[in-house]
Structure 1
Amino acid sequence: MRTTVTIDEHLLAEAKILAARGHRTIGSVLEDALRLLLAEHSRRAEVAGDFSLPTFEPDDPGVRPGIDLLDREALAEALGDNTTASRS
């Protein structure tokens, strides 16, 4: 695939030298460099512990009967956290 990119002139000169020494095209040198960069990024992401949070579906989704989400005191009482309701 053909595309146009802007590359630092010194970096491009070094890549051209590397390509000439290896009897390769500049495109193949740049492809290899990009592959190495992407592989390293992927490796670092694995080490950093990229993960997804587990999800679940409750058997009985929704608000329990008798719970009013707009009544802060009732919610605190239902949760057993009476200190939240008294902070107002």
Structure 2
Amino acid sequence: MLRVIGLPGDRIECRDGRVLRGGTALDEPYLSFESEVVGTECAPVTVPDGAVYVLGDSRPVAFDSRHWGLISADDVTGRLVM
């Protein structure tokens, strides 16, 4: 599953295996155990207008914005509410 982590204007970065949005570490209780152990590494980016930053829940094997870059907000086709 991919999750939208960053919206336009958000500064996304990774430090010490944690994802930070606007300098604040995200609480990510949905991560797989392997993701928590390995941590998340990414290049810092500020999300521009019309784009989103997505990350997979199973970070060690996920292909997401760390690999593809930002995606167009128009490509988001669904919303999951739990």
Same fold (TM over 0.5): no
Larger proportion of strand: 2
Range of TM-score over shorter length: under 0.3
Q: What is the TM-score when the length of structure 1 is the normalising length?
A: 0.21
Larger proportion of helix: 1
Q: What is the TM-score when the length of structure 2 is the normalising length?
A: 0.22
